[in-house]
C-alpha cells in the first residue's frame, strides 16, 4: 500500500535495539527533514505529492491481514512519523482499539508533536543525533534538535513508556560526545543502544568498548551495543534486507 504519507507496510522482525528479533508490523511513514549521512531509508524521506491521500481504513485492513500469532507490536517508523502527527495519532489510536501494542521510532524532531501522541504508545525508540551524523547543517540547528530530543526522552520516560534511546556510532565518535548525552539522560529509566555504523565509517571494537564504558559510568547496565541485525536477514532470493 502506497500513499502520500505512507511509504510501505510490511511484517518482519525488529532489527535494532532492546526489542531485537520481536515480530512487528512496520508502518513506514514518508517524509523526514533531517539528512543523516548514513540514512538507509532515503527513498522514504520525501512525501509523494503525486500519490493518493492515505486511506486509514485500507491501512487498518492491511494491518489486520498481517497479524500473526507471534506479533509483538506495531512499529510506526520512517522517514519521521512525527512529521505526519495527525495521521500517526489516528492510526495509533485505531491500533490501540484493536488491542495492539504500539512502538514509535522517531528522531525526536518535535517535542510538541511527541507530547500529543505519547499516550497512544507503549514503546518509544528515540534517536539522539550527534554532530558527526550531519543530520542538520549548522551547530545552532543541531543544538535545537538535541534539545527537542531530550524533551521527547523526558516525556516518554515520565509517561511510563518503555523508552529506548539509540545513538548511531560512526568511527569519529568521541568519548566526550557520549558522556555529554549520557549525563543529560542519566536520570531517566531508559535503555541506551550504541549502534555501530555498518560500512565504510564503522567504529573499531576498541572504540565501542571505550564508549560503552563511558556510557556505563552514567547508566550502569542499561547500555547495550547492538548493530543493525535486519541487514543480516535474507529474502527467498538470497538478497539481504536493508
Tell me which residues touch ligand SF4 (CB under 6 A).
Answer: 32, 34-36, 39, 41, 45, 78-80, 107, 135
User: C-beta of 37: minimal distance to ligand SF4 in Å?
Assistant: 9
Cis peptide before 235 (omega within 30 of 0): no
Q: Which is nearer to ligand SF4, 80 or 148 (CB)?
A: 80
Bridge partners of 103, per DSSP, are 75, 123
CB nearer ligand SF4, residue 31 or residue 203: 31
Instruction: Rank residues 34 and 192 by Cβ distance to ligand SF4 and give the closer one.
Output: 34
How far the first Cα of the chain sits from its last, in Å, is: 19
Q: Exposed, middle or buried: residue 176 (CB in 10 Å: 0-12, 13-18, 19+)?
A: exposed
For ligand SF4, the closer CB: 36 or 156 = 36
From the CB of 84, what's the least distance to ligand SF4, in Å? 13
Minimal distance, residue 35 CB to ligand SF4, in Å: 5
Closest separation in Å from C-beta 41 to ligand SF4: 5
Comparing CB distances to ligand SF4, the nearer of 107 and 169 is 107
> How near is the Cβ of 57 to ligand SF4 at its closest, in Å?
27
Task: Between 166 and 222, name the residue whose CB sits nearer to ligand SF4.
Answer: 166
CA 23 to chain centre: 16
Q: Which residues pair with 73 in a beta bridge?
A: 24
Looking at beta carbons only, is 100 or 128 nearer to ligand SF4?
Answer: 128
Minimum CB–partner distance for residue 202 and ligand SF4 (Å): 16
Kindly state the smallest distance separating residue 214's Cβ from ligand SF4, in Å. 23
Amino acid at each position: 500500500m502506497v500513499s502520500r504519507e505512507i511509504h510501505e507496510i510490511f511484517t518482519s522482525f525488529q532489527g535494532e535495539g532492546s526489542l531485537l528479533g520481536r515480530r512487528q508490523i512496520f508502518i513506514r511513514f514518508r517524509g523526514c527533514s533531517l539528512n543523516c549521512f548514513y540514512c538507509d531509508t532515503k527513498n522514504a524521506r520525501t512525501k509523494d505529492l503525486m500519490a493518493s491521500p492515505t486511506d486509514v481504513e485500507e491501512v487498518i485492513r492491511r494491518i489486520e491481514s498481517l497479524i500473526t500469532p507471534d506479533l509483538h507490536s506495531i512499529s510506526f517508523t520512517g522517514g519521521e512519523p512525527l512529521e505526519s502527527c495527525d495521521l500517526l495519532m489516528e492510526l495509533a489510536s485505531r491500533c490501540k482499539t484493536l488491542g495492539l501494542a504500539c512502538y514509535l521510532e522517531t528522531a525526536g524532531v518535535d517535542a510538541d508533536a511527541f507530547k500529543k501522541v505519547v499516550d497512544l504508545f507503549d514503546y518509544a525508540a528515540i534517536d539522539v543525533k550527534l554532530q558527526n551524523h550531519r543530520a542538520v547543517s549548522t551547530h545552532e540547528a543541531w543544538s535545537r534538535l538535541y534539545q527537542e530530543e531530550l524533551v521527547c526522552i523526558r516525556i516518554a520516560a515520565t509517561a511510563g513508556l518503555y523508552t529506548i534511546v539509540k545513538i548511531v556510532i560512526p568511527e569519529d565518535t568521541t568519548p566526550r560526545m557520549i558522556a555529554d548525552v549520557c549525563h543529560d539522560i542519566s536520570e531517566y529509566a531508559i535503555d541506551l543502544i550504541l549502534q555501530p555504523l555498518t560500512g565504510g565509517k564503522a567504529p573499531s571494537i576498541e572504540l565501542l568498548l571505550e564508549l560503552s564504558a563511558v556510557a556505563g559510568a552514567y547508566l550502569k547496565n542499561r547500555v547495550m551495543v547492538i548493530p543493525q541485525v535486519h541487514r543480516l536477514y535474507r529474502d527467498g532470493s538470497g538478497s539481504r534486507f536493508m
